[in-house]
Structure 1
Amino acid sequence: MPHDISLITNISVALVVAFAGGLLARRLGLPTIVGYLLAGMLIGPFTPGFVGDIGDISQLAEIGVIFLMFGVGLHFSLKDLWSVRKVAIPGAALQMLLATGLGFGLTRLWGWTTAAGLVVGLAISIASTVVLLRGLIDAGQLNTPAGQTAVGWLVLEDLATVLILVLLPALFGNEGGNPWVTGGLALLKTTAFVLIILFVGGRFLPWLLTSIAHSRSRELFILAAVAVALGTAFAATAAFGVSLALGAFLAGVVLGESEISHQVGDEVLPFREIFAVIFFVSVGMLVNPQYLWDHIGQVVALTALIVVGKAIFTLFLGLILPSTGRTMIVVAAGLSQIGEFSFIVGQAGVGLGVLTQDQYSLVLAGAMFSIMLNPVMFWSIPHVETWLKRYPKLWARFERHATTEPQPTQLPQAEHVVVVGYGRVGEHIGTVLNRLQIPFLVVEADNHRADDFITKHIPTLIGDAANSDVLTHAKLEQAKALVVTLPNEAASELVVAAARDIAPNLPIIARAATTSGVQRLADLGAQDVIHPELEGGLEIIRHTLLHLGYAATQVQGYTDAVRRDQYHTNITPTEHLILEQLIQSVRGFEIAWRSIAASSTMIGQSLAALNIRAQTGASVIAVIRDQQLISNPESQLTLAPGDLLGLIGDKSQISAADALINRSQAGDQAANSPQAGKFAPSAAELLDKTSDLSTSNS
């Protein structure tokens, strides 16, 4: 008896057509959601060819809803919401009321029932989180006051969606009875569930996942995170009769406030992305193209209401809200679309028998076309602003609160270094660049980390450089270099490839996670590729062999041979020789930098008269004077106050030189002891001066 593989068939076909649709959408400059919806239409029952099983795919789509809401909860921030509360709370409430009323009125003109009109009005009042964030990132607006206001506004809409999903079954269910009593009972159950999750789950779930994290098993941690998302959602429905979406959202909220929220988000992300794609495909399968064509007038009218109508009355809410003109233009552009939450509300309406499948198709068509037009709305932001400024009195009304908004950190426009990924490696790079007073710009995908950087006045663009157009706002054409420190090698490759397309001559330094990745990153256009694990291993080998008594030059020759074998880059033999000379001149010897105090008896004496090498065995290889490096100084050079001597030799020779210097500086021995911090220049100075030294030696 053959095995039943219908579920595998449906998953495979859905993901393949979704990939094709998403790729086509990106090539056309459209959001990938449009491609997924079209892919669903292609395998739906209303088009010829393969027809997917709506029942199987809908079950998988429910998992997509759970992970979508879990992700929303993880990124939910009361702090961010509170910072924009004066605009977002009244604005979201008024905008949803107006949109619901207009949608309800439009459907009543078409002769729809009151219940159907109300569900459609609610559905079109809610914008898509996915589309809004992508639009803000691609437009470089996410980390601006306007972008933060739009995100806070949408958080309120997300919360309202949760409430809507709770109340819809109570209002339009078939149980009968007083809807107010039914609604009150539903709210009571929901309140009980929320309190249990926040107070009990808020302590237990973070403790559980933290304990799993300490077990050092990534497999168990991933399993635990997925189990928490699905288990909490199932418990919400089974025990309290509330929606799966609410359970998943609250599970994300309680984990979002814990120290492991970033790790949970990273591990759950692949599940969320895959099942969200299946969710969008399942939505597309419900669209009847023939019905939409036969009712093209209704499609155009509803799309116009979503795109133009919502944008206009959202914009003019700025006349009464304590915001600015620029902020309201960005918010209006971002909210002029509907997406995943509208689908969820619409599906609830279909499940309750309030909406027909054809009526739901109309909502889906409005979502699809509004998402396609949303990039145009973001493109129009500066043009709308210019048009409004032609009417000074109107613009002055919008700008009456202009001074109340905090101004974002100014982003560098030229001669800067772009750092993609500001983890431990990226942060160290930023520290050195800051010491050297070189402007730099951070591109960070994690909102919470990026907010911390912005608070510290670090110029930051929020966005996934491997999955959006955020790099187009980093001014790569005018940058001095791009440093990619992402631990994920696949993401690094996407960033390097995109950057090379944007700025063909830009120096790119990238971090590789594997030895094979070194060659791939170099092929994609990275001039310098660093493999941290290889470098760490070689350094361990070097120290081990030195302790075993092997000669430093032999050890260095071995490690350099390994580097040449592993790094398949385009460095010429001459450059390798210079690099080897520099490394061999530094490693295996004790290099010390010693400052000459103003009271020293060395002041006014020449190097020849001091004859430091004859007395100690250490050689003076350089002198730093007035921030200038004098390499291989002449014997006639006379020392001056503040000179920094570069001494090279083994430990005993350096110790003898220290003793000589101490004897030469009467009364200042303690300050100039070998342990004194004043002898050593900063890491940035050594980096700079060693570079100069290598150039002069070559």
Structure 2
Amino acid sequence: MTDSLQLILVLLAAAVGVVVLFRLLHLPAMLGYILVGILIGPHTLGWLPDAPGTRHLAEFGVVFLMFSIGLEFSLARLRAMQRLVFGLGTAQVVATMLLVMFTSRFFGLGWGAGLALGGILAMSSTAIVSKMLVERAELNAPHGQKIMGVLLFQDLAVVPLIILIPALAAHDENLTRTLALAMLNAILVLAALLFFGQRLLRPWFHLVARQKSSELFMLNVLLFTLGMAWLTELSGLSMALGAFVAGMIISETEYRYQVEEDIKPFRDVLLGLFFVTIGMLLDLNTLLAGWYWIIGLLLILIPFKALVVALLVRAFAGDWGAALRTGLGLGQAGEFGFVLLTLAGGAQLLPQDVMQNVLAAMLISMLIAPFLIQHAEAIVRRISPEEWMNSAMLMHQIAVKSMGRNQHIIVCGYGRSGQALVNFLKQENVDSIALDLDSRRVHEASANGERVVYGDAAKHEVLQAAGLMRAKALVITYDDKHSALKILHHVQQDRPDLPVIVRTADDSNVETLKKAGATEVVAEVLEGSVMLASQALLMAGIPLSRVVRRVQEARAKRYSMFSGYLRTAPPEIGEDAESLQPRFHHVMLNERDEAVGKRLGELKLDELNVEVNGVRRHNMLGAQPSEEMLLKAGDVLMLLGQPIMLEAAEKRLREG
């Protein structure tokens, strides 16, 4: 018991220390866990034995990882990105697998081992790449969209590979028959789980949720996830496959987000343990003996894989710049490669020395990946001379659009918020230029005569071309903290006096953005709550003037630029004057009311200075109804007027 406790303490202390160090260095925590496994594993210090129990516990990390991928599996998302996912993604995985399988023949590996190795090396790191793209504000860039499309397909491709690799390891004379039976077994099991799971899951989760116990709900999630994993393992498939199906079933229910939060602690802890066991597999003595093989594999892996991806993207999109950036982003190995490598090693499909060399090359490639992505722009411009020309042409187009404009507003992002802002500016005859990364949206807006250009506002040269030095203000209309911080950095460098307004979803990043130089930060949560409160007060019969004052006071506390004006306008009014202020009043018509069956105009409510602001009928709201509207029992009239007149209007509706 004491030895077990010491073992756990050693593991926790090493993991916490190394992961903190990796966080400080802005490197993925996953690499820290792998380093812990290398240091305290059986091949180095020997503090952590390579026991079957440890490996079996670590398998649950993969189970919860696959469950999380299943939760993210969205048919709507797939349909929106189907060309990238199933076109480019399929081409990348298949091409990499076939080329690796062909190359491995020269090194004495069988075609089955070569195919498994191809599947392992075809994977890229979703954790590293997506994190880097978010931090660099490149998620919505052309190469960012292509990278995410390929990564999404790779996540899906793991499922058939988990079935394929054990089948390849079966030394059967009729391998085709073995593979066909394995696939048929998988299809039947998955079809049964999906068919019965969908019908049983929702009512059962409803029953558990009605008990209003967070502990019970979490236990139920664990039972369902591990139960599905056990069923697939019982049928001869992997536990990870059952967990993926479990996540996919839950993703179609309203409990998806709650389940995702509940499962996260188990997933992260057990996944960390899985990567520790991956590090334990690495034998440093074997690596030193075969260092030249590792360097060779590494030189093949990153440039070879990056080139394959770049050529495929070039064939799909025809843009060398985006193709090279995509290739550099996907050149490394990935987390699921470790899962497949462990599976291939357990099935004895790959020799031990090959496994050691591949594992080392994969780890080093993942360590190199952040630096490759960080310097991708410089690498692409050095490799592709035409990228300079494309960039120069883009800057020229932006400069032409902004030329002659002075004291204009630069609008970063032309989504719904950006379009609404530009419309307001046009009504006030204020010049503006909008920057957006959606080429289709830019083309449509330009065709309609709008001054919208294609460009990444987070790039310094794009802001300069848009007339940063001549602008009157700059507005960031999309909710992306990392991109906003980059824009603010450029503005502080060149125009620290320029007012910058930033949109954000909530209050969590307000202070960070203000410290970075934002003049004002508009939080959607605050504006939404203010408008919710104002509508609730109006519906409660509070006078309009008092509601307006409350809204102004709330905004005055939040927006410093308006505080002087909003705190003094409108002037305070007494109770007598307030009773004359217009307010809202609801009247629901009953069957016996005189207004039922009459047209709205016949009631002549305008004589009482009362406005019918809307009519709600069977939960359908009609704003500004016409005078010809025939009133029915059950209609709810929304009246606006002075209190005494509202009483008279209701009396007229009831009694005529």
Mark yes or no: TM-score above 0.5: yes
Provide the C-alpha distance between the structure 2 equivalents of 1:263 and 1:632, rounded to a whole number of angstroms: 41
- Residues 100 and 118, structure 1, Cα contact 8 Å, conserved in 2: yes
How big is the shift at 1:273? 1.2
Equivalent of 2:609 in 670, 677, 684: 670
Which consecutive unaligned segments of at least 5 residues does structure 1 have? 400-412, 419-426, 440-457, 487-491, 512-528, 537-586, 595-626, 634-643, 660-665, 681-698
CA distance in 2, matches of 1:632, 1:123: 64
12, 15, 22: which one pairs with 2:12?
15
Note the residue ranges of structure 2 that are not aligned, 5 or more in a row.
395-407, 426-431, 433-475, 492-499, 534-541, 550-561, 584-604, 614-637, 644-656
- 3-state SS of 1:141 partner: coil
- Indicate whether 1:129 and 2:126 are aligned: yes
Matched, 1:274 2:213: no
Alignment of 1:25-174 (within 5 A): 25-48=22-45, 50-173=47-170
Q: Is the 8 A contact 2:42 2:49 kept in 1?
A: yes
The corresponding residue for 1:565 is none
8 Å Cα contact 1:593-1:679 kept in structure 2: no
Q: CA deviation at 1:416?
A: 9.5
1:446-491 deviations in Å (ceiling 9; x for gaps):
xxxxxxxxxxxx95457xx7xxx677547478555787847xxxxx
What is the letter of the counterpart of residue 378 of structure 2?
H
Structure-2 change in CA distance of 1:375 and 1:186 (3 Å): same
1:288 and 2:283 matched: yes
The reply on whether 1:203 has 2:199 as its aligned counterpart is: yes
Please tell me whether residue 248 in structure 1 is matched to residue 187 in structure 2. Answer: no
- Secondary structure of 1:259's match? coil
Q: Find the aligned partners of 2:567 and 2:243 in 1 and give their Cα distance.
A: 68
Q: 1:371 aligns with which of 344, 359, 366?
A: 366
Aligned partners of 2:566, 2:287: CA distance in 1, in Å? 78
Q: How far 1:656 moved relative to its partner?
A: 5.8
Q: Where does residue 342 of structure 2 map in the other structure?
A: 347
Residues 372-399 of structure 1: per-residue CA shift (max 9 Å, x gap): 1112222233235434652489989xx9
Q: Which amino acid aligns with 2:85?
A: A
Aligned-partner residue type, residue 143 of structure 1? N
User: In the aligned structure 1, how far is the partner of 2:360 from the partner of 2:54?
Assistant: 20
Residue in structure 2 matched with residue 184 of structure 1 by the alignment: 180
Q: Aligned residue for 1:503?
A: 516
TM-score computed with the length of structure 2 as normaliser = 0.65
| 1:110–1:200 Cα change, 3 Å | same
Q: Distance in 1 between matches of 2:523 and 2:477?
A: 20
Q: Which one-letter code corresponds to 1:121 in the other structure?
A: G
Measured at CA, do residues 338 and 673 of structure 1 come closer, stay the same or move farther in structure 2, by a change above 3 Å?
A: closer
For the aligned residues, what is the CA RMSD?
4.8
Once residues 199 and 35 of structure 1 are traced to their aligned partners in structure 2, the CA distance between those partners, rounded to angstroms, is: 41
Distance 1:213 1:484, change over 3 A: same
- The answer to whether the 8 A contact 1:337-1:370 is kept is yes
Partner residue, 1:229: 225
Is 1:654–2:585 an aligned residue pair? Answer: no
Q: Which amino acid in the other structure matches residue 86 of structure 1? A: R
Equivalent residue number for residue 190 of structure 2 = 194
Structure 1 residues 198, 327: CA separation in 2 closer, same or farther (over 3 Å shift)?
A: farther
Counterparts of 1:96 and 1:657, CA distance in 2: 69
Query: Shift of the alpha carbon at 1:278?
Result: 0.9
Q: Is the 8 A contact 2:325 2:377 kept in 1?
A: no
- Percent identity among equivalent residues? 27
Deviation at residue 310 of structure 1 after TM alignment: 0.7
Offset, 1:325? 4.0
Describe the SS at the equivalent of 2:120: helix
**One-letter identity of the residue aligned with 1:655:** S
Q: CA deviation at 1:206?
A: 3.5
Contact 2:381 2:388 in 1 (8 A): no
Alignment partner, residue 649 of structure 2? none
Deviations 1:210-256 (A, max 9, x none): 44333322222222222222111111111x21111111111111111
Q: Distance in 2 between matches of 1:246 and 1:358?
A: 28
User: What is the distance in 1 between the residues matched to 2:194 and 2:188?
Assistant: 10
Structure-1-length-normalised TM-score? 0.61
Judging changes above 3 Å, is the alpha-carbon distance between structure 1 residues 357 and 205 closer, same or farther for their aligned structure 2 residues?
farther
- Could you tell me how far apart the structure 1 residues matched to 2:188 and 2:217 are? 29
Q: For residues 591-617 of structure 1, give each alpha carbon's deviation from its aligned partner in whole angstroms, at most 9, with x where no partner exists.
A: 4779xxxxxxxxxxxxxxxxxxxxxxx
Local SS of the residue matching 2:316? coil
* Bigger Cα displacement from structure 2, 333-342 vs 353-362: 353-362
Once residues 645 and 673 of structure 1 are traced to their aligned partners in structure 2, the CA distance between those partners, rounded to angstroms, is 26
| Partners of 1:136 and 1:334 within 8 A in 2 | no
TM-superposition CA deviations, 1:143-196 (whole Å, max 9, x none): 34533332222222222221111122222125x452222211111110011112
Range moving further from structure 2, 136-145 or 371-380:
136-145
3-state SS of the aligned residue for 2:579? helix
Give the secondary-structure state (helix, strand or coil) at the position aligned to 2:573.
strand
